[in-house]
Amino acid sequence: MNRVRKTKLRLIGAMALSSTVMMGTAAVAASTASAFLLYTASIKLKGLNLMKWADVLSVLTLASLPSTSSGTKPSGSSTTTISTPGSATTVGSGSAATGVPAMKLGLNLTAPTTWIGNRSFLNLLSGWRLSNAQGGWSDMPEDRLDANKRLVDLRSGESGIRQMALPTRSLWGESVDIICRWQGTGSVSVGGTPAKNTRVSGKTLTFTFVPQGGASAWLRIASTSPSDPVRNADCREVDADPNATFDPTYLAEVKRYGVLRFMKWSYGGVEGNLPVRWETRAKLGDEIVAGPDGVALEYMIQLANELKADPWFCVPWNADDEYVRKFAELVRTRLDPSLKAYVEVSNEVWNYVYPVTTQALKEGKAAGLSSNDHMAMLSRYSQKTGQVMDIWSSVFAGQMQRIVRVAAVQTGAWNADFVLSFGDTAKKVDAVAIAPYFAANLSANALDTSAGVDAAFAGLANDVNDRIAESKKVKDVATKFGLRTITYEAGQHVLGSAPLDKMIALQRDARMTKLYTTYLTKWRDEVGDLMVMFADYGGGSQWGSWGQRDYVGQPLSEANKERAVELFRQSYITR
């Protein structure tokens, strides 16, 4: 499966990000009073030609329109002493001014992977891969699995492969003893350079995971009985709770946030915009926790319940009414009634990196919602949001306090007003969500000198002010409709073609820490309400540095962005 990875590219003016970005045509949407210009760009990404609208200083003031580094074991040597939270002791207030809602903090969760240090599930095993007779790996054909995603069909020379996430302590440079257990009849072994000292006894296998950079291990099923297939496979640390679902270090770190956005956990159905069916989705009781459409919804709800955090769900665009209703019913039934479920349709249905935006445009044009492409797309998004929220409202009739219905827009007052003014959409949602990133697009030599680095931070500081100012304009629109203003994503958005080591150094600079403090404080003082940061884990790469931490268990003394957020949280936010 080709997953559409979230590529955070915001183009500044008509500047090309790199040789892979070619500026395309300009689209002009006019009204009787004014017009705006949106650049489009063609981005070549891992063989995919994707289109997106450039965020040119929040779409060239649309408001003017009418109405890898090695892990280090955490230790007591950290220079920053911050307690592991339950609910933080509130030193100040989440609200700084009369009329400004109390601020809350949320977090976007990255999808479980085997290649970055964001291990969330205690069971290290990921989804299925197929190894052929020549040793090559490919996606597992769905017809090789039964209804519970168990492997039941292997042919001559083939093996089923399940890669493992990197064990948490291995991220700190430690060797870790792992035990794998399973049921059923078949031949099971472990592979990968980190796997040492393997021992097999009956339906149990143990080995020592010795860190080898970012290399992973995997479980190999060389044969399985169709009538008694290898199943319920589980690999975790020998000293881990065999009945627990989530990694305790992950839980302790994510618990700092009161809202958890599961957009990335729904990757295939949301970012990939794949066709989805309720009958074939990943579900509790399956052999794997995630399928092509994403992680099983039951696990999202379970994580929210365990942490007493409000979940934020993204409903796939291609979900039919039955899927949407059953989604809502499962949340109503399983979610702790004291928690609120935030509900959003898809993700960034304005951003042409994602195939959903082109689909929305085509549907909007076909329905005659507008002759203008951009307005047809936004109108269709607004219409679709209303349709989905009608179903959720029906399911939660008499319990509406349990959900927050969200319309998400590209940061800009015009965008918010346009989406909310379509039909009676404003009456069907409770909040407008934006992503007011403070951003920079740095040239190849921008960070070559100390003066260049100073200039980059000065530009970022100015953009913090601009983003908050634009957010206040969005809030004015939302207030007009009686709605909340929140963020679906937030934080720094630094990209460019400068050398990676210099880009990472910029992220770790003390001035970035101060920018986060200023950013959070200005949001609290001038806008208020929920800010959802992007994202929990991930080191620096050519695609950006999006993680609050590089890996699970990274000391706060080494994670400056997360440290800034945590110090702010302990000072001003209950949770």
Of the pLDDT bands very low, low, confident and very high (cuts 50, 70, 90), residue 99 is confident
What sign does the CA torsion over 485, 486, 491, 494 have?
negative
Q: In this model, does residue 325 exceed pLDDT 90? A: yes
Of the pLDDT bands very low, low, confident and very high (cuts 50, 70, 90), residue 115 is confident
Task: Look up the pTM and report it.
Answer: 0.86
Q: In this model, does residue 356 exceed pLDDT 80? A: yes
What integer is the mean pLDDT of 407-428? 98
**Average model confidence (pLDDT) across the chain:** 86
DSSP state of 148: T
Q: How far apart are CA 284 and CA 289, in angstroms?
A: 7
Count Cα neighbours of 451 within 13 Å in the Cβ-side half-sphere.
Answer: 0
Query: How would you classify the pairing of strands 104-108 and 259-261?
Result: parallel
Confidence at residue 146, expressed as pLDDT on a 0 to 100 scale: 96
Confidence at residue 38, expressed as pLDDT on a 0 to 100 scale: 30
What integer is the mean pLDDT of 121-128? 97
What integer is the mean pLDDT of 119-137? 96
Q: In this model, does residue 47 exceed pLDDT 90? A: no
Instruction: Let me know: does 120 contact 130? Beta carbons within 8 Å.
Output: no
Structure-block tokens of residue 29 = 């949407």
Q: In this model, does residue 194 exceed pLDDT 90? A: yes
Q: How far apart are CA 128 and CA 430, in angstroms?
A: 40
Confidence at residue 573, expressed as pLDDT on a 0 to 100 scale: 84
What integer is the mean pLDDT of 316-333? 98
What sign does the CA torsion over 434, 437, 443, 444 have?
negative
Where does 5-78 show beta strands of DSSP type E?
21-30, 35-45, 48-53
Confidence at residue 116, expressed as pLDDT on a 0 to 100 scale: 86
